[in-house]
A and B are shown apart, each in its own frame.
Chain A
Amino acid sequence: MSEAREAIIIGAGHNGLVAAGLLARKEIRPLVLEARDHIGGMLGDQSFRVSPMPFSLRPEFLRALDIDLPAVPMATLVASPSGKTIRVSGNRVEGCDTADAEAYEQLARRLARQAEALSGMLLRPPPSLDGNSFRELLSLARTGLKLRGLGKTGLRDLLRIALSNVHDLIDDEIGDGPLGALLAMDATLGGAMGPRSPGTVLPLLYRMTANAGQRMMPAGGPTALVKALASKVETAGGEVRTNAPVKRILVEDDRVAGVCLESGEIIRAPLVLSTAAPGTTLLEMLGPEYLDAEFVRRCRKMASAGMVARLDFELSAAPALADGTQLTASDRLVIAENAAAVEAAFNAAKYRGLPERPVMEACYDAGRGLLSVSAQFIPCNPEGGWTKVLRLKLEKAVKGEIARIIPDFSKLVLSTVLMTPQDIETAYRVPGGHWHHGEFRIDQLLMLRPFDGASNYRMPVEGLYLCGAGAHPGGDISGAPGFNGARAALAGRRR
């Protein structure tokens, strides 16, 4: 048995590192255990990043951790039917019809206001459904006050659209087209819902909460971010170990007692925070014997079919779009003609088929000549399984779509790496390879995230906390669940 620790954090993804950093600042020196050979979780390492665009980072916790990481604004590019490139940065649009640009800007500003009002809610534990404590009531009241700041009409509008579908919003406010494709992608990326699925406006608002909708890339990219987080943990006395997969969470007298690694090594600790997916943590590492049957059922029934595949294309030269626009490191490219095309791609995946025309977002790492593509909707478990033939078919379809936008593309490609949702599932131990560690939909949000009865980070076994993307407020490189979860663990210790 190894030396006992004050706290163990399972997973060295960004949420694990944020939680570890926060604990370490409060003089609880955590040991972070990571199954893979590198830290960063889906942010990955030089060889492959599942998650290449950390745009949703919350400045609040960077401040709380004293991390000074400047961020650069990113623009999103999308091609118009005529082949002209439209450039959107924050709420500003260039390269299209003034009327279209104005309609989009107006809508974007409106959504940003609403996102801002919701924003506080995401950096706090979700309100609970029963027996509100005074603190919870207070925090709820604060969010309430913020929402009231929207004014009566604004609030009514938020309530009206939050549960509606993004396709209707697009049709009503800007009309479907390339800008509609942008909104439809941001609303659905990572989930198993198409733009016409109800409840798709809410994820869009969630994504706009960081920096009021302006996408920002931390200077130095994912590498710098992971490095900054890890060094905060280590300088404050924490330790990060890679190649240390946890097999079991140990329990004694209904309290967490430590973990047992796959190697058989036992490490004792009174506090365990897991950033692995809820099902992985609760049903595999902890085990149903410590949980009530209803709790187990809700955990089992969590929807978590991932629908995003990642492809890296090594290119021989920087790519240019049809109108000559160069794709730079501070651009994000969205490839989808309109919201209807996004919906069409979803239709196939719904029935476990590959879409003929996948939709995607991409970014270009000029230093390494790498185009990183997140293609959706690619089913985790396609009809007939992930055969070699199907993998090639997917690669071909993705390449074909990119070539419509980057005419020289096929000539530029030197090599391709593909990770299907199933590959991600295996590599990162996330059910379904899901972007958010569990579907991001209305019955799995807020006090229902990851599921009813498990929403305030504290798990039923004393000393166990859940603070990865599966927890409130959800996935993306935001750091919010890790931040909230660590704060809940600190509050739990004080009690």
Chain B
Amino acid sequence: MAKGQKMSPHPQVPMGLEAGPFHQQLDALNGQHGWMNWMGFASPTVLDNMEFEYFAIRNQSTLFDISPMCKYLIEGADAEKVVNRLVTRDIRKLKTGRVAYVIWCDEDGNVIDDGTVFRLADNSIRLCCQEPQLAWLEDVAWGFDVAIRDVSREIAALALQGPTSAALLRTLAVGEVEHLKPFDFAPVRIGRKKVELSRTGFTGDLGYELWMKPEDAGTVWDALLQAGNQYGLRVIGYQALEMARIEAGFLLPKTDFLSSRTALRPDRTSTPFELGLEGMVAFDKPHFNGRRALLRLAGSPPRRKLVQIEVDKDKPAVNALVYHRQKKEVGMVTSALWSPTCKRNIAYAWLDAPYCEPGSEDLWVEIYLQKEIRWQRRMERCRIVTKRFFSHERRAATPPAGF
């Protein structure tokens, strides 16, 4: 698709949005002209067809521009201390060249955001996340010997995800692919440009993220697209990734949970225990933000939980309410999808205690379907699922398979 298509000399930027480092390339491929606002940047929703893009994630390789992510560099003698004070996990164990998925909480133990930390060196850590956090980081770092810099605009980034992604990188002579394990990262060269390659992503499958200077973005893009020709590489928009994200079991702030910094009503916030992330709270490390509140919360069962559910039949339970015995309202769905890969009707739902515990019976979702302007209401059974819906062994195999 990309091949032979001429780039327009003046790429269109939707009103009020900014062109990111890959905008010219994305605009040339964006047949749908579907854009959304991601941190003020124009980010494609779908380039030509969401289904094609989704199946490319699961069967081939895909490229998605993640440059709008917020990125912060935390450097100095106390960098480790500050990040460990910020997040609930113990990152003292995180070695240089490793990445960790992290969450952080406010003083009441409510989650502020999630993200990834990259251990660049002993005294240098990069944090990537969805929402701006500079003010919060400065608060957390007050009194410590670190410098914090917003490097969001200094780094362009791409997610290269899918079963053929390792093979694709091999043809670009990226030898590091052979020993990069999940959550490793290493400096590589692509199109002679320096790129930091991390084995991370949101799809639950084999995949990588590439971090580079914005001025190198075009060269790296061209190299990837050229090499991708024989691996079915497809540039994708947000909607296809969103499908894969739900299958893979990653939470999305603002959709599945609300940051405690944006929630106005106190009961709209959520704790790590409610999000099912209790495994990420390390009480056995020095004080971190919200620790005392979390200790208190850990002592009593959560008021509700975000759980994975599987729904009968094939109609996605988008925005559905959840009932016990078809009568009592006990929760609501945040994300839902008929998973083409798992062939299951899956969703995330907030369920009140005690219905949020695995094994709860007689749970129903209320699905509304519109058929020729008439709404139909359907009650379908659902049950709580604890295993990830989609997780392929390819994801972790090292060296990665060809495809």
Binding site for B on A (CB under 8 A): 254, 283, 287-297, 300, 453, 460
Contacts and interface: CB of A to CB of B under 8 A. Distances in A.
Is chain B's interface secondary structure helix, strand, loop, or mixed overall? loop
Given A254-B287, A254-B292, A293-B289, A287 B143 contact: yes
A153 B128 CA distance: 59
Contacts of A453: 107
9 contacts: A288-B144, A289-B85, A289-B143, A290-B287, A291-B287, A292-B290, A292-B291, A293-B142, A296-B139
Contacts of B139: 293-294, 296-297
Contacts of A288: 142-144
A294 B287 contact: no
A283 B287 CA distance: 15
B106 interface: yes
Given A294-B139, A297-B139, 20 more contacts: A254-B287, A288-B144, A289-B81, A289-B85, A289-B144, A291-B287, A292-B106, A292-B107, A292-B290, A292-B291, A292-B292, A293-B136, A293-B142, A293-B289, A296-B142, A296-B143, A297-B142, A300-B142, A453-B107, A460-B292
Interface string B281-296: 0000011011110000
Is chain A's interface secondary structure helix, strand, loop, or mixed overall? helix
A197 to B, nearest CB: 29
Contacts of A295: 107
B287 A293 contact: no
Nearest to B104: A293
A298 to B, nearest CB: 10
Interface string B139-151: 1101110000000
Nearest to B290: A292
Nearest to B86: A293
Contacts of B289: 292-293
A296 B142 CA distance: 8
A289 B285 CA distance: 12
B17 to A, nearest CB: 32
Contacts of A293: 85, 107, 136, 139-140, 142, 289
A254 B292 CA distance: 9
Contacts of A289: 81, 85, 143-144, 286-287
Contacts of A296: 139, 142-143
Contacts, number: 41
Contacts of B85: 289, 293
B170 to A, nearest CB: 45
Contacts of B292: 254, 292, 460
Interface of B: 81, 85, 106-107, 136, 139-140, 142-144, 286-287, 289-292
B144 A294 contact: no
A372 B140 CA distance: 45
Contacts of B107: 292-295, 453
B176 to A, nearest CB: 37
Contacts of A292: 106-107, 289-292
A114 B142 CA distance: 42
Nearest to A283: B143
Nearest to B136: A293
Contacts of B286: 289
Contacts of B142: 288, 293, 296-297, 300
Nearest to A288: B143
Contacts of B291: 254, 292
Contacts of A283: 143
A182 to B, nearest CB: 43
Nearest to A297: B139
B135 to A, nearest CB: 10
Which of B85, B107, B136, B139 neighbours the largest number of chain A CB atoms within 10 Å of its CB? Answer: B107
Contacts of A290: 287
B178 to A, nearest CB: 41
Given A289-B81, A289-B286, A289-B287, A294 B106 contact: yes
Q: Which 6 A-B pairs have the closest CB atoms?
A: A292-B107, A288-B143, A293-B139, A293-B140, A294-B107, A292-B289
A92 B104 CA distance: 61
A242 B106 CA distance: 40
A289 B85 CA distance: 7
Which of A283, A288, A295, A460 neighbours the largest number of chain B CB atoms within 10 Å of its CB? Answer: A288
Nearest to A287: B143
A302 to B, nearest CB: 14
Nearest to A291: B287
B294 to A, nearest CB: 11
A292 B139 CA distance: 9
B283 to A, nearest CB: 10
A283 B144 CA distance: 11
B265 to A, nearest CB: 15
Nearest to B109: A292
Nearest to A299: B142
A133 to B, nearest CB: 15
Contacts of B106: 292, 294
A238 B287 CA distance: 33
Contacts of A460: 292
A296 B85 CA distance: 13
A300 B292 CA distance: 21
A297 B107 CA distance: 12
A201 to B, nearest CB: 33
B208 to A, nearest CB: 33
A307 B200 CA distance: 57
A117 B200 CA distance: 65
Contacts of B81: 289
A303 B144 CA distance: 22
A292 B106 CA distance: 8
Nearest to A295: B107
Nearest to A300: B142
A194 B144 CA distance: 37
A102 to B, nearest CB: 52
A458 to B, nearest CB: 12
B129 to A, nearest CB: 16
B341 to A, nearest CB: 41
A280 to B, nearest CB: 13
A293 B141 CA distance: 8
B284 to A, nearest CB: 11
A288 B286 CA distance: 12
Nearest to B292: A460
A410 B290 CA distance: 61
Which of A289, A296, A453, A460 neighbours the largest number of chain B CB atoms within 10 Å of its CB? Answer: A289
A437 B144 CA distance: 25
A295 B289 CA distance: 10
A293 B142 CA distance: 8
Contacts of B140: 293
A290 B106 CA distance: 14
B106 to A, nearest CB: 7
A150 B142 CA distance: 47
Nearest to A462: B292
A451 to B, nearest CB: 13
Nearest to B107: A292
A295 B143 CA distance: 13
Contacts of B143: 283, 287-289, 296
A268 B292 CA distance: 23
A317 B290 CA distance: 63
A291 B290 CA distance: 9
B258 to A, nearest CB: 18
Which of B81, B85, B106 neighbours the largest number of chain A CB atoms within 10 Å of its CB? Answer: B85
B299 to A, nearest CB: 15
B136 to A, nearest CB: 7
A187 B216 CA distance: 66
Nearest to A453: B107
A448 to B, nearest CB: 16
